Structure 1
Amino acid sequence: MEETRTTAGTRQHRESVHRSESHKRAILIVIAGILLMLAALPAAAVDAEGSTTNPTAIVADYTVIPSVLMPGDQGTATLVIKNTAQSASVKENTGIASGGTFANTKSTDINIYLENVHLEGNGIEVLTKDFDRIGELGPGQSVPVTFVIRAPSKSGIYFPEAWIDVRNGRSTRYPLTVNVNTDISSQKKPALSVSQSLPDRVAPGDDCTAGITITNTGLLRASDITMVVNSTTKSLVLTSPGRHYFEHLDPGEEANLTLRFATDKNTPIGIDPVTLSITYRTPDGSTERQAETLGIPVKGKAEMALKSFSTDPVRPVPGSPFTMILRVENTGTDQATSVHATLDSPFTGTKTAFIGSVDKNSDAPAIFYLQATKDGSVPVNLTISYSDDFGTHTITDDAVVTTTPSSGLVPFASAVLALCILAGGAYWYLRIRPGKKNDR
């Protein structure tokens, strides 16, 4: 009996093991079949695996104006909010090729939506409300957001915090630094200051000079200093070198140079700009650039001259009135004002004529009403005074007025001439007449 039970138990154990192995083989066959079916799927089948890069926003930069607030003063804090990545996208992988790789990959850019931007004061009073629903921000894009703030009554360093909420994304918290009437030591570095010495005024057509002084007002040496001079006005020409180089300037050291310019008659009236482009290296090897502007003051200058001189009548008669007409011309580059002419002569009458203003490239008359007092060639002296931006000027010129003898002398001369003719006729008749001897 014992032997029969043992044989039966052994048989049952073997059948149980056989069934277990059969189940394992069936499971392996099913898995292999599934793998074969997946391998046989067409390329259009979509793999369940996909990858998504969720973008968010950051504060790329911020600016507080003014950089140092006085207690109770108002200012602005501007945040530059930027997408976190240059390419935020969602990826779809389709089709399984041989070797387990994907046949097609589709990449679609997605934007972030700025839901809310809030500035938590933390001791700073924020006068601007939150910015709600600013809108979408594409991959790599940025947008500025400005808050109006007021400093507290107590000096110190404050750290307001920017809260940025992104729809379906991660929120951002970013601290700012606001200085309220506090001295903070800054990083030591060089700083170049440019001072200039300019002429008070330059007339078109004249040459001029400008003195330049470059001073290192910083705390460290500035090296490889280059200055390039460029006039923005074509008729204002630089006649000295336009590029200057200095090996270095230590703190407190300065360099002086002189720039020379030439102008022509067409140089515009006003402040003509000349740009100075300066570059230099700092001790850490970085290059700094700054631009300065020279304003050359160009002011017009009047130039008066006597254009013509005439009298009416052309040959005055002594004792009779006549008119003297002068025409004065402005050949300068600006208007002449307070123009008047003065006559110095033995004639009686008006000796001063007020003209007023004369524009450039124009002329105007000066009229004198005179009385001829003597005959012959009478010299006269003319003086013209005028004013412009350069002050008051005077020019002089000379002229000659020729008069004819008075009309009372004409009959006397005619009578003398008539008597001479009569005497000659009588002498011819009484002495020389042909046939006079024969008559006797």
Structure 2
Amino acid sequence: MNRNNLRRILIAACIVCALILSGTGAVSAANQSTFVITDFSMYPQSLMPGDSGIITVTLRNTGSTFVPVNQIFIKDSDGIKSTVTPYQNPIGGVGAGDTFTLSLPVISKGKTGTFYPVLYVDFDGNSGNYLKYPFAVIVDDKSIVISVTGRPDVFEPDTTQTVALTIGNLRMNAIEAVEISASGTGVTSKQTSLFLGTIDANKAANGTLSVSTAEETKEVTFDVRYRNGPAWHTESITIPLESGVSKTGAELIVNNIEVKNTGSSYTVIGDVNNAGLTTAKALVVTTEGVTKTGLYPSYVVGSLDEDGLSEFEVTFSNPADNKVTLVFTYKDVNGNTYTQKQEVPTTSAVTESQTSGGSNPVAAVLIVIVILVILAGGFAAWKKGKIFARK
């Protein structure tokens, strides 16, 4: 064999190898037909250990004649196996210039790394006319990260509290159907779950979940369920609770209280200040232990911001035991209702006439004394001739 013939053989061998590695099928000399892979994809892009995935491949007959297809299968590798037996005569064959698309399932054996199973398309089953296509499958154990980005300082029993969460996707592919739910002893939620949907690779999504806890609740667990391709996964984070009264809630301070007695009813006037760190919403002032009557049986303040100040006025009658209880009711941002009470004696009530000054005997006496002093001084000055000369 001369040098030129050897060179031609080596070039032909290199071309055949290149065709196989690039996904181009072998050429049948008998029917002058060639198969090539025009599209290849894997869902999801990477697997987690034990996950299953779907390989979708599109092949094209670039030849001039019909080609029968005997079987299509995936040959297992070290970390990947096929979950189906070879497809026997799956499509019959492919005509000249036609394409066909086929999906095949694979599953991870549990190892991590990059593996290379091989797709085989056997055309006649006898002469060795087949397409061989190795492909890469990545298996990694990267999952998600769950961060608590907002929570109350304490969880008051039987009240609704809001917890803010951030879900970060550490995988190289998107995760789907992301859903957050809360669980634990005595933990309830009006939301059965919070649906976030799809989170792209190396991205994050934020969400809030409102939960209510009981006296015996010691911790709350937030479960994040998601799909990596067709496989479901769940990751969780548990936060310990501190029970008690919120240190950042509204705190009402009542000052400048004045009680008036109109004869048939009483009126309490005063100032209410919010010395807390959050707004007292829907603040209403009313009374307890008396008969609500008059113009203001209840007084609506509305929203009272932190450091806010508002006047109020309530009217009532028939106080028992010479006292009245002022009742301050308000809500927080989650709709929880809080009540604060303050007892005020009615024995020091000022009557309406005393307020106007019309019948105060002490004031009347003082006025008479002042007038008499003035008159006496004037009379003395007149006698001495200092004001009007006497004739």
The alignment's TM-score, normalised by the length of structure 1, stands at 0.31
Q: What is the TM-score with the length of structure 2 in the denominator?
A: 0.34
Q: Which has the larger radius of gyration?
A: 1
